[in-house]
Structure 1
Amino acid sequence: MDVPELLGRAATMVPANATNEAGATVADVVDGLRYHEWEVALDLLADLDGWPADAQWWDLLIGAAELMWLADTATWCRWRRWESIHGIIRTQLTLVPAAEGGRQTPIPGKGVLRPLWHIGQYMPDGQPNFRVARNWAEYAPELAPGATGSVRLAPLAPDGWRDLRPDQTITMHDGRSVQGTATVTEISIPG
């Protein structure tokens, strides 16, 4: 399949009432396709919320992004594909400033960092039961030491995160050293 076919097929799977934060709908996607604005159509599709996009739908977007050589968009669509299977965890993360023992370098924004997290669970001996999750900083290419931002988490073992609740505070660690504090803003883990 070529790009217009992939995007056209993806557009037919989206309910008419799905929108993005700016109010764009699948009708705007169709307009983009009509005028051969494939990258615009892809970006709009990837940004539509309010419906249960499945892995097959994300595969269409990944295929289109790859055919257009849009590596960053393909990476984001892979992340969202993973979330469509395992669930979404969004947080508001505040990193400890470097002068106070925090990271010396920013957190890369595209799911590269896999820190330890204490999510309120303990081992039988009373020690924290740390979990691992990849981080995706939203709305920015990275999150600087001491900064606050919206961060999505992709746990390596999602089942261990089922007890999280909105407004819960969790901590990001480097070993036992706290590197950040996050408040859960959204969680939806299937099953």
Structure 2
Amino acid sequence: MDVAGLLARAAAMVPADVVNETGVTVVDVREYPDHDEWEVALDPLADLDTGWRPPTAWWDLLIDRAELMWLSDATGSVRLGLPFPALWRHLRPGMTITVHEGRPAVGTATITEASNAS
């Protein structure tokens, strides 16, 4: 199933009267795909978990949707702001590093430019 289909199925499971902390409802979430903003819809949809007891199938749909988005958005440019620049000065264009957001690793990155600016 595609990303839009998974979003529609997950949104259909949320009761109409559920509102998240920022006032977003499932009606709001359903409008994102109309504007080709599928990526934006995942966070507010996941935040609609209060005020009802989401079934496991709902969480599974959100996980499937996130995994599909990862596969479709697997490349891009990123500028890293490192907390300890001195530890990264050895990086040179063409080198490959492993990217982590905790454990396990979430991907790899190829250095295209390095700056030793403080």
What does 1:32-111 correspond to in 2, within 5 Å?
A: 32-48=32-48, 49-69=50-70
RMSD: 1.9
Q: CA deviation at 1:55?
A: 0.6
Q: How many residues align?
A: 73
Kindly report structure 1 stretches of 4+ aligned residues shifted beyond 6 Å: none
Percent identity of paired positions between Structure 1 and Structure 2: 62
Q: 1:28 aligned to 2:44? A: no
Partner Cα distance (1:40, 1:5) in 2? 15
Conserved? CA contact 1:6–1:61, under 8 Å: yes
Q: CA deviation at 1:111?
A: 9.1
Partner Cα distance (1:40, 1:62) in 2? 15
Q: CA deviation at 1:46?
A: 0.3
Q: TM-score, normalised by structure 2?
A: 0.57
Partner Cα distance (2:15, 2:41) in 1? 15
**SS state at 2:7 partner:** helix
Structure-1 residue corresponding to 2:7: 7
**What amino acid does structure 1 have at the position aligned with 2:9?**
R
Conserved? CA contact 1:8–1:33, under 8 Å: no
Partner Cα distance (2:40, 2:52) in 1? 20
Partner Cα distance (1:50, 1:33) in 2? 24
Structure 1: any 5+ residue segments left out of the alignment? 71-109, 113-191
**What amino acid does structure 1 have at the position aligned with 2:26?**
V
**What amino acid does structure 1 have at the position aligned with 2:57?**
Q
**What amino acid does structure 1 have at the position aligned with 2:40?**
V
Q: CA deviation at 1:51?
A: 1.0
Richer in helix (by share): 2
Partner Cα distance (1:69, 1:111) in 2? 17
Q: CA deviation at 1:5?
A: 0.2
Partner Cα distance (1:50, 1:58) in 2? 15
**SS state at 1:4 partner:** helix
**What amino acid does structure 2 have at the position aligned with 1:55?**
T
**What amino acid does structure 1 have at the position aligned with 2:55?**
D
